[in-house]
């Protein structure tokens, strides 16, 4: 098995063509992920040069909590702090070129549309929005404004995932046959009973919308095609999760007969990994979806088995640099808005299948 071409420069940025430039970013929402992961990687000292961004910096904060925003601004030396009304009114827009939209899924469109109206590029946290219709509206708003829209699926820029896609494209596994992926954990323990992820109107769903979209997006990225049908089941045995799915399992069918089997859970042992089985071999990533990971890529072809763990890469820094690089070079991101609309169409088919007990064609639920 000749893997030199794929592993020789395992962590190389195969997407990078520019060497310099800076995109100034406003963080819209200062939740846990933005404070504990984004700011250290983009605005702070996250531990070393490989943990920091090269093409972007945080220059503005938008928050509904003035005390929190001022505290964060002081810690990271961010000069511009806005509340949501000021952001919508266009105050401080000269301080940033792009926005990172976090917070409740059902508010993403409003913030992204405001940014687009002000001519600002948008990096929107996954899964883009709470419905496919609102996702399409976001795409239209950004396209009409001529701004870049990217959705935050970090694994698409994680080196091991990109090397795996290269192996699949080069036929190292033969023809893809099946994908298995899962993302589970005790994910809501830190947020308390009033967090927005437990509000179906704000979240648009439960475990599927939060962590299940990672294997869903990954199989589309690795196979290079979209599912045509979904079969699924959800369950919510705990009363505190009423209105959102606590566990989800779904199977997808693809145009050439490939299948994907995926699970996600809000209350299960922490685990996230994927496996691709082909006609000539198989490959696995472990872990695969969490942030700031160092996954091991395992390949089995015939009797030969190779296991490779590349150097650590901060996925958050990679994601923000990839977005900024796309803005600087006027390049369309791979996880763009239309890519995420396809995810949401599959999500809606999954939920309809779970509700009706039948297989649902993807796109069948489109209004």
**Each residue's pLDDT tens digit, 301-329:** 999 999 999 888 899 999 999 999 999 99
Q: Residue 365: what pLDDT?
A: 62
Q: Residue 187: what pLDDT?
A: 81
Higher local confidence (pLDDT), 246 or 363: 246
Round to whole Å and give the CA distance between 110 and 119. Answer: 14
**Tokens at 112, concatenated:** 């992204």
Grouping H, G, I as helix, E, B as strand and the rest as coil, residue 271 is strand
**Tokens at 288, concatenated:** 């695969």
Strands 149-151, 176-184: pairing is: unpaired
pLDDT in tens, 18-75: 999 999 999 999 999 999 999 999 987 644 445 689 999 999 999 999 899 999 999 9
Residue 78, CA distances (Å) to 35, 40, 225 in order = 13, 13, 41
**Tokens at 204, concatenated:** 């648009």
If pLDDT is split at 50, 70 and 90, which confidence band does 2 have?
A: low
Cβ–Cβ < 8 Å for 97, 118: no
Q: Residue 250: what pLDDT?
A: 98
Grouping H, G, I as helix, E, B as strand and the rest as coil, residue 188 is coil
Grouping H, G, I as helix, E, B as strand and the rest as coil, residue 64 is coil
Please state at what angle helix 337-356 crosses helix 213-223, rounded to 10 degrees: 120
Residue 324, CA distances (Å) to 17, 117, 140 in order = 12, 19, 21
Closest CA to 168 of 254, 251, 230: 254
Please state at what angle helix 337-356 crosses helix 132-145, rounded to 10 degrees: 170
Torsion of CA 146, 29, 150, 340, to 10 degrees: -110
> Which residue's entry shows tokens 């796309």?
326
Closest CA to 216 of 127, 142, 144, 107: 127
Cα distance between the two ends of the chain:
48
Q: Residue 48: what pLDDT?
A: 46
**Tokens at 139, concatenated:** 């795409």
> Other CB atoms closer than 10 Å to residue 194's CB: what's the count?
7
Cβ–Cβ < 8 Å for 87, 28: yes
pLDDT in tens, 191-221: 777 889 999 999 999 999 999 999 999 999 9
Q: Residue 148: what pLDDT?
A: 98
Cβ–Cβ < 8 Å for 281, 264: no
Pick the CATH number of 9-153 from 3.30.365.10, 3.40.50.300, 3.40.50.720, 1.10.3720.10: 3.40.50.720
> Other CB atoms closer than 10 Å to residue 360's CB: what's the count?
21
Does the pLDDT of residue 11 top 70, yes or no?
A: yes
Say what percent of the chain tops pLDDT 70: 96
What's the average model confidence in pLDDT over 106-110? 98
Q: Residue 244, CB half-sphere, CA atoms under 13 Å: how many? A: 28
Cβ–Cβ < 8 Å for 167, 283: yes
Q: What is the dotted CATH code of the domain comprising 155-313+336-361? A: 3.30.360.10
Q: Residue 43: what pLDDT?
A: 85
Domain layout of the chain by residue ranges: 9-153, 155-313+336-361
Does the pLDDT of residue 333 top 90, yes or no?
A: yes
């Amino acid at each position: 098995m000749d893997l030199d071409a794929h592993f020789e420069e395992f962590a190389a940025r195969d997407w990078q063509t520019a060497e310099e430039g800076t995109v100034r970013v406003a963080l819209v929402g200062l939740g846990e992920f933005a404070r504990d992961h984004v700011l250290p990687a983009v605005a702070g000292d996250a531990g070393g040069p490989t943990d920091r961004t090269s093409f972007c910096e945080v220059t503005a904060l938008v928050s509904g909590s003035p005390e929190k925003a001022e505290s964060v601004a002081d810690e990271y030396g961010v000069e511009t702090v806005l509340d949501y009304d000021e952001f919508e009114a266009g105050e401080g827009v000269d301080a940033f070129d792009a926005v990172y939209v976090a917070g409740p899924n059902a508010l993403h469109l409003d913030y992204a549309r405001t940014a687009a109206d002000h001519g600002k590029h948008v990096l929107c946290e996954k899964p883009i929005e709470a419905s496919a219709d609102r996702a399409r509206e976001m795409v239209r708003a950004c396209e009409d404004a001529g701004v870049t829209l990217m959705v935050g699926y970090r694994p698409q820029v994680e080196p091991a995932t990109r090397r795996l896609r290269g192996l699949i494209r080069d036929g190292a596994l033969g023809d893809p046959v099946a994908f298995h992926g899962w993302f589970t954990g005790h994910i809501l323990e830190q947020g308390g009973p009033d967090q927005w992820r437990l509000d179906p109107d704000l979240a648009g769903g439960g475990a599927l919308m939060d962590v299940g979209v990672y294997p869903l997006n990954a199989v589309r990225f690795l196979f290079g095609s979209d599912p045509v049908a979904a079969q699924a089941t959800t369950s919510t045995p705990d009363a505190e999760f009423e209105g959102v799915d606590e566990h989800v399992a779904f199977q997808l069918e693809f145009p050439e007969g490939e299948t994907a089997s995926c699970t996600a859970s809000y209350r299960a042992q922490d685990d996230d990994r994927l496996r691709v089985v082909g006609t000539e071999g198989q490959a696995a990533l472990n872990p695969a979806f969490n942030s700031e990971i160092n996954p091991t890529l395992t390949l089995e072809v015939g009797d030969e088995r190779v296991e490779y763990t590349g150097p650590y890469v901060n996925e958050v820094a990679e994601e923000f640099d990839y977005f900024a690089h796309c803005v600087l070079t006027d390049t369309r991101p791979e996880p763009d808005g239309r890519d995420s609309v396809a995810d949401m169409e599959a999500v809606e088919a999954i939920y309809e299948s779970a509700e009706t007990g039948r297989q649902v064609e993807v796109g069948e639920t489109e209004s």
